């Protein structure tokens, strides 16, 4: 698959940070940054911009806050071959947290929102653009919304100057036909805008669904190194680069950083295809319940978790053993 318009966006540190509170070493982030640049990846999303009075610095690493001076120092010289990005959540960032683009290390700031907050996202994205940045709106958990509500939200974004909007499979619930339906709907509702795709791997479909979105016209593609991300993780960068028939992409540097950093890291923190995340994906539920279950002594009692999620009245019976 080759289209000149396609851009690859890495979310390794940003989405991966959701499973270790962004406690990545400077060495891992620097090495990932260099590898992604050498691989020809277009953007690296290094974390969130967030107000420090909302999150504990003792718990969360620097990538949770993306202070420009800290990122500049950590990367020790920026590579012009790749653009640097971060994400903001509605209500978790203040205007003063975002510098003017000329004073910042960042090129792209993406706005994440739920459909009910589309108006707030449009307003925030406009302020970000006024400061000189590229931006996108990422509509989260869209699989939980009614079609008429999606249509209304897309109509509003379509009237805005925001240039790129993402289809986001937050819960890893979608099949290829769902991706096709939404990608085409977004394209039709917002002509002239770029459509992006961000997938989760609850059903082992993150890569396949990303391919489907490309076939259907998406041109901004999210992936992460070795698939690291919240819960089951995201589309694997190494798979995506070998699918795209663009000579500028080179998978070899990604394999090197996986070998040196991410394979050892996968033995310390957990991500990937795991049954409780599969269950929340099938049920179109947020993975928080699976995350809590994997942190408990019952982590591998899959039948009990399934019963808890599907028949809670059974779980309320004292005689139930889950076996």
- Using CB atoms within 10 Å of the CB of residue 70, give its burial: 0 to 12 exposed, 13 to 18 middle, 19+ buried: middle
| Predicted pLDDT at 323 | 40
Over residues 25-42, the mean pLDDT reads 98
Q: Is residue 323 included in any domain, yes or no?
A: no
**pLDDT tens for each residue of 218-243:** 999 999 999 999 999 999 999 999 99
The Cα-based distances of 177 to 167, 184, 228, 281, 283 in angstroms read 13, 11, 25, 16, 17
Q: Vertex 138, ends 133 and 143: CA angle to 5°? A: 175
> pLDDT class for 2, splitting at 50, 70, 90?
confident
Specify whether 93 is located in the same domain as 43.
Answer: yes
Please give the tally of structural domains in the chain. 2
Over residues 247-253, the mean pLDDT reads 97
Specify whether 258 is located in the same domain as 137.
Answer: yes
**pLDDT tens for each residue of 73-130:** 999 888 999 999 999 999 999 999 999 999 999 999 999 999 999 999 999 999 999 9
Q: Is residue 298 included in any domain, yes or no?
A: yes
Rounded CA Rg of the chain: 19
Find the Cα–Cα–Cα–Cα dihedral 227, 117, 61, 14, rounded to 10°: 20
Of the residues 226, 248, 266, which one is the last residue of a structural domain? 266
Of the residues 230, 247, 266, which one is the last residue of a structural domain? 266
Comparing 4-8, 53-57, 142-146, the range with the smallest average pLDDT is 53-57
Tell me the CATH number at 60.
3.20.20.70
Residue positions counted in the chain: 323
**pLDDT tens for each residue of 118-156:** 999 999 999 999 999 999 999 999 999 999 999 999 999
Specify whether 230 is located in the same domain as 102.
Answer: yes
Specify whether 158 is located in the same domain as 234.
Answer: yes
Report if pTM > 0.85: yes
Specify whether 193 is located in the same domain as 303.
Answer: no
Q: Is residue 322 included in any domain, yes or no?
A: no
> pLDDT class for 291, splitting at 50, 70, 90?
very high
- Structural domain including 246 reads 7-266
Question: Which of 173, 194, 161, 273 has the alpha carbon at shortest distance from 9?
Answer: 194
Given a contact cutoff of 8 angstroms between Cβ atoms, the answer to whether 98 and 132 are in contact is no
């Amino acid at each position: 698959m080759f289209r000149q318009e396609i851009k690859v966006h890495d979310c390794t540190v940003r989405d991966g940070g959701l499973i270790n509170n962004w406690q990545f070493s400077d060495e891992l982030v620097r090495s990932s940054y260099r590898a992604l640049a050498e691989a020809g990846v277009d953007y690296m999303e290094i974390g969130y911009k967030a107000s420090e009075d909302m999150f504990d610095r003792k718990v969360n690493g620097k990538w949770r806050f993306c202070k420009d001076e800290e990122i500049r120092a950590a990367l020790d010289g920026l590579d012009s071959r790749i653009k640097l990005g971060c994400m903001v959540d509605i209500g978790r960032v203040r205007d003063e947290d975002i510098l003017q683009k000329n004073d910042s290390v960042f090129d792209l700031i993406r706005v994440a929102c739920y459909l009910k907050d589309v108006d707030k996202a449009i307003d925030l994205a406009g302020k970000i653009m006024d400061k000189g940045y590229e931006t996108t709106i990422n509509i989260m958990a869209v699989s939980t919304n009614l079609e008429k509500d999606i249509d209304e939200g897309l109509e509003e974004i379509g009237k805005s100057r925001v240039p790129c909007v993402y289809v986001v499979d937050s819960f890893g619930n979608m099949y290829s036909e769902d991706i096709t339906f939404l990608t085409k709907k977004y394209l039709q509702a917002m002509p002239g805008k770029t459509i992006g795709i961000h997938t989760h791997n609850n059903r082992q479909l993150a890569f396949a669904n990303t391919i489907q979105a490309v076939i259907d016209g998406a041109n901004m593609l999210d992936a992460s190194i070795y698939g690291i991300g919240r819960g089951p993780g995201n589309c694997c960068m190494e798979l995506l680069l070998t699918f795209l028939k663009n000579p500028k992409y080179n998978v070899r540097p990604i394999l090197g950083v996986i070998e040196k950093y991410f394979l050892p890291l996968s033995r310390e923190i957990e991500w990937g295809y795991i049954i409780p995340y599969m269950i929340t994906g099938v049920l179109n539920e947020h993975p928080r319940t699976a995350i809590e279950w994997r942190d408990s002594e019952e982590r591998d009692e899959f039948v009990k978790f399934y019963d808890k999620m599907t028949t809670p009245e059974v779980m309320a019976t004292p005689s139930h053993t889950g076996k």
